[in-house]
Amino acid sequence: MKKKPNLVPVVLCGGAGTRLWPLSRQAFPKQFAVEMDRKSLLDLTLARIDEFEAVESCLAVTGEAYRFMVAEALHKANLQGDILLEPIARNTAPALCAAALKIADTDPDAIMVVLPSDHFVSDAGKFAAAIADAARLAQEGWWVTLGIRPAKPSSAYGYIEPGSTIPGHGRAAQVVRFLEKPDVEKAQALINSGCVWNAGIFVVRAGTAADLIGKHAPEVHDAVQQAVEGISVDKQFYRLQPEAFSSSLSISIDYAVLEKEQRVAVVPYEGDWSDLGSWDAVAGVHEADDEGNRSEGDAWFSSAENCFVHSPDKLAVVLGLKDVVVVDTADALLVTSRNKVEQVKAVVDDLKSAKRSELTDHRKVARPWGTFEGIDRGERYQVKRITVKPGAQLSLQYHHHRAEHWIVVKGVAKVTRDEETFLLRENESTYIPLGAVHRLENPGKTQLELIEVQSGTYLGEDDIVRVEDVYGREARPGSDTAGAKPAPSLMPVKKGTSS
């Protein structure tokens, strides 16, 4: 009997998800921002791995900015795994090449299961069964892709044309060709001829993947190999050598390898699937009322048809509208007709040219120790809501231009202020003078929440000098709360001069 393969899920966590703005932002893209039943898409992806057999560890591929969020998700999922950090996004071929070379270095026969972290799959059991079928093919040297049964003719996806079935492997078939995203009329014709959606979910032996990338895209392979050989290790983080990786061609694995290789197979997956590539796709995974309206959060529809509302924090009323999408966040609101949702990406590009900060961060920002949120700001003050996870701590730091007041509203805070250390409990407060070296910690087992009131001549985030940090971030001018977008203010904040 053939030995069961060692499956190594490779979770791709670096996408930007610009089509789901304003919920998805550069610093908090859709794999973290979009939730189903209070679990992020990344959480749901990691949960699906529990259904696979013979998984000992996984490998996540992401960027530096997302490393702590990915590490926390792995911890919550109780998964052992390394995190491979790309210094710059270079599309899927370099990312998969790096993963393949790293895995093949210790086990070239390990089967990579490449999972985008921002997909929605409704039936984890059916999905795991398709992966198991694909893994058996991958053991024989095939590069296998999952083919999704099309729910409707769509121009949002590429298509795969299956050919002859592969003996001994059920409905698995050799791929005849990959087809670019067609118009809707051609998409219907492709579906009628038996074509399936290309989900970008791959199953392939690590050694095979490395060899085929070397064969069909040697310039990618050689650059990435240098990057892997130059990896630096920081706990579970593996940083690819920046110059070598950045020199790689930016290209998808489809163009680099799959369209050129003969031994590519497609295994059908019959369950519901979506890449949630637009707000219309997000709407589609929610239950509709009798008029076709769908919602996330608190929505009220009156004389409305076929509308979708995302409004988690306030009541949104849609009156007398049809085919409209409404997405509300704390600092940005999107209203669009459903037939224009694919143009959100173009709007994002326009906002980027206008240098709008709403593209980068939400008002609430995640950090390895917890979160912070700007709630008010004036000429010489700023107010933030800070939460610190149990056992976590901010960096040891000081400021040149501002003082801070801390008021604990939930939990217990351990405060370092110059030479003294003390505890603050609910409804207690303290003062951090300008220039004092200080640190905030949560020594308890429940979340710490406090209000921070800053006052001074300059409140910019570059007025933070980090002295020491348990998360390995550089001890330099920077910020535990860098990137915070100020709350709306009637007056601009003036920059001060160094004191």
Q: Residue 140 is inside which H or E element, if any?
A: none
Amino acid letter, residue 361: D
Q: Interior CA angle at 334 toward 16 and 461, to 5°? A: 60
Amino acid 417: pLDDT? 97
As given in the structure block, the two tokens for residue 348 are 């994002």
Amino acid 475: pLDDT? 55
* β-strand partners of 333: 328
Domain range annotation of the chain: 7-274, 285-355, 364-468
Query: If we measure between CA atoms, which residue out of 40, 51, 39, 37 comes closest to residue 126?
Result: 51
Identify the DSSP state of 118: T
Query: If we measure between CA atoms, which residue out of 337, 384, 344 comes closest to residue 365?
Result: 384
Q: Omega into 22 within 30° of 0, i.e. cis?
A: yes
Identify the DSSP state of 20: G
Amino acid letter, residue 450: L
Do β-strands 81-86 and 58-63 pair in parallel, antiparallel, or remain unpaired?
parallel
Largest CA distance in the chain: 77
Identify the DSSP state of 258: I
Identify the DSSP state of 257: I
Q: Are 234 and 164 in contact (CB under 8 A)?
A: no
Query: If we measure between CA atoms, which residue out of 229, 264, 231 comes closest to residue 86?
Result: 231
The backbone torsions φ and ψ at residue 357, rounded to the nearest 5 degrees and listed phi first, read -70, -20
In whole angstroms, give the CA distance from residue 246 to residue 224: 9
In whole angstroms, give the CA distance from residue 58 to residue 46: 9
Q: Are 295 and 37 in contact (CB under 8 A)?
A: no
Amino acid letter, residue 145: T
DSSP symbols for 348-372: HHHHHHTT-GGGT--SEEEETTEEE
Query: Rounded to the nearest 10 degrees, how much is the dihedral formed by the CA atoms of 97, 101, 104, 110?
Result: -30
By CB atoms closer than 10 A (0-12, 13-18, 19+), residue 119 is buried
**SS3 annotation, 53-105:** CCECCEEEEEEHHHHHHHHHHHHHCCCCEEEEEECCCCCHHHHHHHHHHHHHC
As given in the structure block, the two tokens for residue 104 are 């093949």
Q: How far is CA 418 from CA 138, 233, 397, 434, in A?
A: 59, 33, 10, 11
Query: If we measure between CA atoms, which residue out of 452, 328, 345, 475 comes closest to residue 398?
Result: 475
Q: How far is CA 148 from CA 129, 186, 458, in A?
A: 14, 17, 55
Identify the DSSP state of 338: G
Mean pLDDT by 10 residues, the chain (499 residues): 80 89 93 90 94 89 93 92 95 97 96 96 93 95 95 89 94 94 90 93 98 97 98 94 96 95 95 91 94 96 98 96 96 95 93 91 88 91 96 95 97 97 97 96 97 93 87 61 40 31
The CATH architecture of the domain made up of 7-274 is: Alpha-Beta Complex (3.90)
Amino acid 56: pLDDT? 81
Amino acid 494: pLDDT? 32
| Topology annotation, domain 364-468 | Jelly Rolls (2.60.120)
Kindly give the residue spans of alpha helices, DSSP state H, lying in 111-202.
124-138, 184-192
In whole angstroms, give the CA distance from residue 248 to residue 257: 15
